[in-house]
Amino acid sequence: MKTALITGITGQDGSYLSEFLISKGYNVVGLVRRNSTVDQRSRLDHLAAPVRKKLALEYGDLLDIPSLVLTLKKHRPAEVYNLAAQSHVKISFDQPIFTAQATGLGALNLLEAIRISDLECRFYQASSSEMFGKAEQSPQNERTPFHPRSPYGISKVFAHWATINYRESYGMWNSCGILFNHESPRRGENFVTRKITLQANRIAAGLADTLYLGNMNAKRDWGFAGDYVEAMWLMLQHSKPDDFVIATGETHSVEEFCKIAFGHLGLDYKKYVKTDQAYMRPAEVELLCGDAGKARAELGWTPKVPFPQLVKMMVDADKAR
């Protein structure tokens, strides 16, 4: 029975990846930060007994190398998925140093901890389409140059190259998944998709009357998180470590997302959505669209949930809540 360590297990992707790996028979170990409440574990609550027996949580932090070494030595995982990060792009402008430490240096800390522990494992780094930023070409693939536009983006570029450098320098089995935006009913409430589906429901229920957004013209390649965690696992089962773009190949604007979400509740978004400068970014990524041809050819991965279905799934889940 294989053991996998997931950093960032309390996040959106961590919860889907835990479920996926447990369904494959893995023992899953998750790194959790100390918090004044245990609320941050709500995305794992449904993993109740007997499945829960396959899940162990250890206190730790990417900024605390001893906690990483202790966890690695205790569990000797065959696979390590580094999903932990300060992952909010706009907030990275408010906390650039912390973001660089957690999202950038944190990955290097984990790679060093693996090296110090003399652990032979396969390592997955959660790289991001934000690294393409002001992209020179569309769609973006594994050979597209990076032009990050935020402290988050530059931190992810650092972590990405650190992961590749440790592969090249020390022969470590490291793969980077360059994932485009992926969403779900478990998405954090201050990312644009979830912000829209939550507030559209509040408006439909008569509990609110306006949704304030920033740049509604921004376009993203949005897929379903449940599909994307499978790609992470496939990368670590591949015959060699490598880097892959994971995307749907379609791009849609924030405005289109609003139209479908409000429309699904029988509302015209134009009556309720207003723009507010507070949600604009100092530098914006206007358009992302990924080419996942390499993942399709080499990993056999394809996305399953189309865009309109994703939006409706999120609206319905918030309605039920």
22 binds, among ligand GDD, ligand NAP, none (CB under 5 to 8 A by kind): none
Give the residue, chosen from 181, 184, 201, 248, that forms a contact with ligand GDD under the rule CB under 6 A: 181
d(CA 262, CA 213): 14
d(CA 231, CA 177): 8
Query: To the nearest whole angstrom, how small is the minimum distance from the Cβ of residue 152 to ligand GDD?
Result: 7
Give the residue, chosen from 5, 55, 62, 314, that forms a contact with ligand NAP under the rule CB under 6 A: 62
106 binds, among ligand NAP, ligand GDD, none (CB under 5 to 8 A by kind): ligand NAP
Residues noted as catalytic: 128, 130, 152
11 near ligand NAP (CB under 6 A): yes
Q: Which is nearer to ligand NAP, 56 or 208 (CB)?
A: 56
Cα 198 to its chain centre, rounded Å, is 20
Q: Which is nearer to ligand GDD, 130 or 256 (CB)?
A: 130
d(CA 13, CA 206): 32
Q: What is the DSSP string of 216-252?
A: TT-EE--EEHHHHHHHHHHHHHSSS--EEEE--S--E
Query: To the nearest whole angstrom, how small is the minimum distance from the Cβ of residue 48 to ligand GDD?
Result: 28
d(CA 44, CA 110): 23
Residues 201-240 interacting with ligand GDD (rule: CB under 6 A):
213-215, 218, 220
Query: To the nearest whole angstrom, how small is the minimum distance from the Cβ of residue 84 to ligand GDD?
Result: 12
Q: Which is nearer to ligand GDD, 130 or 230 (CB)?
A: 130
Q: Do 311 and 261 meet the contact criterion of CB atoms below 8 Å apart?
A: yes
Residues 177-196 interacting with ligand NAP (rule: CB under 6 A):
179, 181-182, 188
The 3-state DSSP class for residue 61 equals: coil
14 binds, among ligand NAP, ligand GDD, none (CB under 5 to 8 A by kind): ligand NAP
- Return all residues near 222 (Cβ < 8 A) that are at least 6 apart: 180, 181, 182, 183, 193, 248, 252, 257, 307, 310
* Residue among 200, 238, 223 nearest 79 (CA): 238
- Residue ranges binding ligand GDD (CB under 6 A): 87, 89-90, 128-130, 180-181, 190-193, 195, 213-215, 218, 220, 254, 279, 281, 284-285, 288
